[in-house]
Amino acid sequence: MSEAAQQVGGRVIVVDGKGTLVADSEGPEEVGSSFATPGRPEIGSALAGTPNTQIRDSADLGHDIIATAVPIQQEGEIVGAVRITKNVQQVNDNVRNVTLGLISIGIAGLAAGLLLAFGLAGSLSRPLTRLARTAKELGEGDLSARAGDVRGPREVEELGRSFDEMAQRVERSVQAQREFVANASHQLRTPLTAMKLQIEGAVADATDDEVRERLLAADREVDRLSEIVDRLLVMAREVEEGASARVDVEDAARRAVARWTERAEKRHSSLEVRGDGGSARADPTDLDQIFDNLIDNATSYAPGEVIVETAPSNGRVIVAVRDRGDGIQPEEIARVTERFYRGREAPSGGSGLGLAIARQLAEKWGGTLTVRSTPGQGTRVEVALEPSSMT
């Protein structure tokens, strides 16, 4: 009986069919006494053939106990019962310990699963992150960017090799285009210079007014073609990363107005500088080119009052050119900064490169170019540049 009591962790007793105690794990002191009493209803229930469990207070022990009794049958007849009693607190402690054990096992399993998941995710995400970083560098203009030896699943490694092959083809294609544009633009300069000299000589020798006007018109077209060639050379020039430069945007605006005043008057336009100025992080030559393109566009396509604005705004330095022309159709605004794009209603003679070059130069210095226009109320082209950190 003592061995059984140790196994169940409680007291074990056996009674006969009349409820008389015949065995007790705590010793023989009470053997022979009646245990089928009203205070032990579980024993009476078991002797009646029904297993029963009771949780009740034990006056002898001074604490709650849980008592379980089951009948003992022999050849279909109930000959006695077995009762096991345990301290309720002990049962609760055991349940709590088991529960905590299961929780600990569950937490450990979850932690192991998370570590395994993070390991697998890292092995997949690292090569993909590397590809994404390389794609960003390529998109920002670094055509030499390559993913290199990407390690991971077979599909990811194949993707890395395919990406590098594509990047190499793109680099060769862009380099070929740059070389073609640069070479073509350079070769065009010599015959254009010779043509201009010939026309200027013919103008000086012309005695017929009509012939003279036609020669002057041809001379203007040669000038316009020379400007297009210069713009092509700007587009073909590779962006060199160097030390940041500082430029006073108001001074640059006034220089641009001084350069363009005479040509603007010929186009029936007036130029005016407004604003508070500021210092921007950009190369002065690049900013001059931005102003030249914006003013050229405004005076060519919207003759009249043209305002050149400069001002700090929201942590940026703004330079803008605003006209009071017919404006741009809403569906065309998103495309006017594309190379060689010209609106359906744009007058003849333009190249479609001015805004594209201005945008490219602004982005070179971390800036943006935005076009805002309302048909019938004019257009405002705004370039936002980083402020200079130099004092």
Distance CA 277, CA 287 (A): 13
Domains and CATH numbers, the chain: 2-92 (3.30.450.20), 171-236 (1.10.287.130), 246-385 (3.30.565.10)
| 318: confidence class by pLDDT, cuts 50, 70, 90 | very high
- The percent of residues above 70 in pLDDT, for the chain, comes to 86
Q: What is the pLDDT of residue 380?
A: 92
Contact 14, 35 (CB under 8 A): no
Q: What is the pLDDT of residue 251?
A: 92
| 352: confidence class by pLDDT, cuts 50, 70, 90 | low
Distance CA 297, CA 336 (A): 11
Contact 253, 291 (CB under 8 A): yes
Distance CA 79, CA 87 (A): 27
| 239: confidence class by pLDDT, cuts 50, 70, 90 | very low
| 242: confidence class by pLDDT, cuts 50, 70, 90 | very low
Structure tokens at 293: 């393109």
| 185: confidence class by pLDDT, cuts 50, 70, 90 | low
Contact 299, 269 (CB under 8 A): yes
| 155: confidence class by pLDDT, cuts 50, 70, 90 | confident
The rounded mean pLDDT for the chain is 81
**Which tens digits make up the pLDDT trace of 20-39?**
888 888 888 888 888 888 88
Contact 293, 350 (CB under 8 A): no
Distance CA 54, CA 67 (A): 5
- The percent of residues above 90 in pLDDT, for the chain, comes to 14
Q: What is the pLDDT of residue 234?
A: 63
- pTM of the shown model: 0.44
